Chains A and B, each alone.
Chain A
């Protein structure tokens, strides 16, 4: 989407134009849902968080003061995901271990050339990684998702999480170190594990 188009859509949506806002929803719903899904590890809750985030975004759009709409809507998505996390702590539901296997919408299945064994291996690895992410504190979890999974820059992450660049760096460093130590216990699932993680 062209930046000018996005600004025009935001302006129209801020005046109550639902159609204009829905164009923005279509543009960012994939990213928003994936971030929510990685934070929550639960497609149902991620779906609720994403829908709630877009609704909150539409209501509060008149408060948007310019800048990156992507960062702004992702900030709402992360806040809604934290709300879901807190709700889950009060009322636990589906265990994280069962999530990835139940995810029929995952693009893991989209590659027809992949053998069932490879798919099982990749699926298992994805589940392991998701469990590792779930073990991180929410703040570190968000930073590593935005950086290493969504490929966002430090500046964008700082914009989304409303923290300084130094905080982003330190949170990312600690999150990666924890993920590295966690994944070292699942060496048999990792491709080229010996090359990547050595013998120790």
Chain B
């Protein structure tokens, strides 16, 4: 224990001998050091040699200056120049830090909004059909093609109606039990269903058609499917049933087709009328046209409502897009300022020599 204590004391003494030589130890430390030095010949010698070293250094003479270092009067403007440089350095430093912070904030905000916007668009895209205007414009069959095809479906439709009575799944929505308003709501299905419906409309099949025959009854009353004796506004089954694509009758008046633009909506009405006219010409133009009229009005009302909702969504999306673009422009400007400030910082930092 004594040896360990001695080594600890010796180490402490060696670290403080120089301060002891300068007389800068406290009284307590001096007593502690003297207590060790008295028993330690190494420390006794080190104290002496340290004192000798100090004396030798203190004995070095002062060297005379080789020349005068007085400044010429011409250096006077340099003080103001240095002051301006230092001030600009400080300004650039502050600008750099501020621009960097704002740039990061703006960039982060832009990225966040972009992410939210993309997610919103993705989720909306999964739930909704593509714009009807595009789809219908590409896939909608020409009127000339629809009209001649109508008589061809007549027989199939009748046979299908009979088959439905046998409990089989009908291949055609000959006479829907639900009112047209409900039918319209059903059309507002997922995108996939709408897409299929539109695609089917492009190549007219029985599934893609809605019985135009008795259209007035569809709009005004419930009509029973499979009823061979359907009496809808005095139209009998003996008369040819006119089939129109669902898209032609109902246009884009679906909730799911919220992205329908005004052009497609407005174009739908002429299509509807024209198709109906073409179809009813095959049967009984006047009566069918009268029967179809309420359907057209209902369809247009729903179209208008959906269009208003679509306008609101589009307006919000446009606002988000504009905000993102604005933030990106601000980030770009801040990035430019940051680069300029960094260049200035480098320039003035080089010119500004530290003391």
Main secondary structure of the interface of B (DSSP, over half): helix
Q: In the complex the two chains form, is B65's CB within 8 Å of A33's CB?
A: yes
B92 at the interface (CB under 8 A from A): no
Within 8 A of B (CB), among A53-76: 54-63, 75-76
Given contacts A25-B71, A173-B15, contact A149 B355 (CB under 8 A): no
A180 at the interface (CB under 8 A from B): yes
A51 at the interface (CB under 8 A from B): yes
Instruction: For the complex, count residues of B whose C-beta is within 8 A of A.
Output: 47
Given contacts A34-B62, A54-B69, A60-B82, contact A18 B75 (CB under 8 A): yes
Q: In the complex the two chains form, is A59's CB within 8 Å of B79's CB?
A: yes
Could you give, for residues 99-141 of chain A, a 1 whenever the CB lies within 8 Å of some chain B CB and a 0 otherwise? 0000101111010000000000000011001000000000000
A108–B86 alpha-carbon span in the complex (Å): 43
Could you give, for residues 74-90 of chain B, a 1 whenever the CB lies within 8 Å of some chain A CB and a 0 otherwise? 01101111110010000
A66–B63 alpha-carbon span in the complex (Å): 29
Residue of B nearest to A21 (CB): B71
Which residue of B51, B65, B75 is within 8 Å of A29 (Cβ)?
B65
A188 at the interface (CB under 8 A from B): no
A19–B15 alpha-carbon span in the complex (Å): 47
Could you give, for residues 57-75 of chain B, a 1 whenever the CB lies within 8 Å of some chain A CB and a 0 otherwise? 1101111111111111101
* Chain B residues within 8 Å of A108, by CB: 61
Q: In the complex the two chains form, is B63's CB within 8 Å of A180's CB?
A: no
From B42-50, B260-268, B327-335, the one touching the partner chain is: B42-50
Which residue of B61, B71, B78, B355 is within 8 Å of A106 (Cβ)?
B61
Given contacts A57-B355, A180-B53, contact A105 B60 (CB under 8 A): no
Which residue of A33, A75, A107, A183 is within 8 Å of B61 (Cβ)?
A107
From B16-24, B94-102, B297-305, B337-345, the one touching the partner chain is: B16-24
A38–B71 alpha-carbon span in the complex (Å): 23
Interface CB pairs A-B, < 8 A, 28:
A18-B71, A18-B76, A25-B69, A29-B69, A30-B62, A33-B69, A34-B62, A43-B63, A51-B69, A57-B355, A58-B78, A59-B75, A59-B79, A59-B81, A60-B355, A62-B79, A62-B83, A103-B63, A105-B65, A110-B64, A129-B56, A148-B53, A148-B54, A172-B19, A173-B18, A179-B57, A180-B52, A198-B45
